[in-house]
Amino acid sequence: MSKEQFSGNIFIFHAFDIGDDINLEKVKRDSAIIHRPYNQPKYFKHYHLPLSVELPHPHESAKCESVKIYNFGAISLLYKIPFEDSLENVRMQLVKIDNQFREQSIIDGRSVFNKIKKYIKKTKFFHTQSSYVIVQVNPKPNLDVKKVTEQYGGIIASLVRFETETLSEYQKNAILESSIGYLKGDLIVIDAEASFVYDPVPEEILDIFEFANIQQLELRFFDRLLNQKLNKIYEEEETVKIPISAYIPIIGTLSKGPIDELARLKVDISVIAERLEGAIRLVGEPYFAELYGLLNKQLDLKNLRESITKKLAIIRDIQQVWQQKLESVHEDLLTTLIIILIFIELVVGIFR
């Protein structure tokens, strides 16, 4: 039974963080970059939308379905690999396919980066990478959702975990619990790195998966960046860099030091986080909202957000400590200056 033939597609998302900010208006005006029409999903807001472009020519990536550029410094590539095979064989080949397109995505991502890097602030290919896989299977008339889970539940569970062996009954049941469907014959099984989609028309949900992958990319990048900043603070590498001018009233407010860097970092993270949260609107879309909620849970986005919030709170406390230190020094300096002026006035008065 496991050798029954199915048709479908393997969708692979790859996202790269390539800088702090991308000027999409300048990218649009570049004649060397070919734009593609982007059919905006109804659940996305009109602002902060990505720019859809073609993969720069010449290239050998026939499976690249789309390339999107995001103004907060990220690019996303989608690959579509058709198949007609048994689910068991797809499971056996999935790791190899994933590795193949992981390497291809770096080549393709770099080609996009090289075309647009003059429009990027603080360029780097790449800071962070994130990927996600969807195995989409076209339903069969004689195989409803119940039969699929009964006959192929074990294969589906190990497939979304990139395992070639059958998982335990406990693991299988736990994975199949994270499933959802809209129409009677639909089934989506969601896991942390891959999903199984039993639906003939998956296009309307692909943008949600792509967006969740982009969110994971940016949240990982922020978490890593904050870890690096906090490690430097713990090692007392930042405290010695406060400039002398920062202690001088008035002049100190014009100088830039670690406090200003931390404040700017907080603002940058807050702005991009708002763009990510505000780009998707699921009010009145209960099915998409439930799907997005499951993705948030499986991709651990909530814990990433909480981790970033805690680290930003620590940075805020450090800012306050540094600010209080500077204010204390300012007060001491002013007190000393007043004492010196009184002493000079006293000396001048005596000599007179």
Domain residue limits, the chain: 5-205, 209-351
**Per-residue model confidence (pLDDT) at position 255:** 47
Residues present in the chain in total: 352
Q: For residue 301, what are the contacts with CB-CB under 8 A and spacing of at least 6?
A: 212, 215, 216, 219, 295
- Based on C-alpha coordinates, what's the Rg of the chain? 27
Half-sphere CA count of 185, side-chain side, radius 13 A: 12
Q: Closest Cα partner for 224 from 350, 308, 144, 99?
A: 308
Q: How confident is the model at residue 2 (pLDDT cuts 50, 70, 90)?
A: very low
Where does the pLDDT of residue 183 fall: very low under 50, low under 70, confident under 90, or very high at 90 and above?
A: low
What is the spatial order of strands in the sheet that 179-180 belongs to? 51-53, 64-70, 74-86, 5-17, 128-137, 194-198, 187-190, 179-180
pLDDT for residue 131: 96
pTM, two decimals, is 0.83
- At 271, the pLDDT band (50, 70, 90 cuts) reads confident
Q: Is the pLDDT of residue 85 over 50?
A: yes
Q: In which band, very low, low, confident or very high, does the pLDDT at 259 lie, cut at 50, 70 and 90?
A: low
CA nearest 63: which of 45, 91, 83? Answer: 83
> Which of 330, 218, 231 is closest to 269 using CA atoms?
218
**pLDDT band for position 268 (cuts 50, 70, 90):** confident
pLDDT above 50 (res 109): yes
**pLDDT at 324 exceeding the cut of 90:** no
CA distance 202 to 16: 24
Burial of 24 (0-12, 13-18, 19+ CB in 10 A): middle
Name the DSSP class of 84: E
When the pLDDT of each residue in the chain is averaged and rounded to a whole number, the result is 84
pLDDT of the residue at 57: 82
Q: If you ran DSSP here, which 8-state letter would residue 36 be given?
A: -
Q: Which residue has the higher pLDDT, 11 or 327?
A: 11
